[in-house]
Amino acid sequence: MRLTPRFLLSAAAPLAALPGRAVAEGMPQLHFKDPLLQGQVVWGAIIFIVFYLLLSRSALPKVADVIKAREVRVRNDLDVARRARKDADQAQKELCEAREKAMEEARATIQGIRDTAKEKIRVQAEETAARLEAEIKKAEAQIALSRSNALGSINEIASSTATVLTERLVGTADQRAIAAAVEHAHAARS
């Protein structure tokens, strides 16, 4: 707080009201008609004014400069802190954006891997199905061939079996009659 003449007058006003009461109550040090007291007051005022001028011209500007320098330093520190916070907020925002982008890329990569794996599985399944279909057709052809061979020789096998059994049971067998009977039985069954 700076000492101004207005402040000094406002502080001295209550003291000015004291002399009348002080004289009445017996306080000679406040009797302003006494020349000794008047000299003390005048010299006190001169010393106070000189002291005030010395302080206001030398010490108080230095204190004011220190206070201003402190204010500037605090203001600069606050500006640096605000900028650092702004930079940190920006860095955090960029980090979140980078994380989101990386997550999206990871999802896309995973989905691509899944799609590739599904496609490979589908292709392998089709290849396996085609291979199995070819093997089934080949096996069916072999079965059909074996069946036709078996059916082609079934009459001969049945005839020879019937001939052997008839020979064992009867002693003699007519191969032509047995072959004709087997042919007739086979034709009736087909």
Q: Say if CB 58 and CB 70 are below 8 A apart.
A: no
In angstroms, the CA 106 to CA 112 distance is 10
Tokens linked to 89: 């907020």
Q: Could you tell me which residues come within 8 angstroms of residue 3 by beta carbon, excluding any fewer than 6 positions away?
A: 52, 56
pTM of the predicted protein model? 0.39
Q: What is the pLDDT along the chain (190 residues), one digit of tens a residue?
A: 555 656 555 655 555 555 555 444 567 777 777 788 788 889 999 999 999 999 888 888 899 999 999 999 999 999 999 999 999 999 999 999 999 999 999 999 999 999 999 999 999 999 999 999 999 999 999 998 888 887 777 777 777 888 888 888 887 777 788 778 878 877 787 6
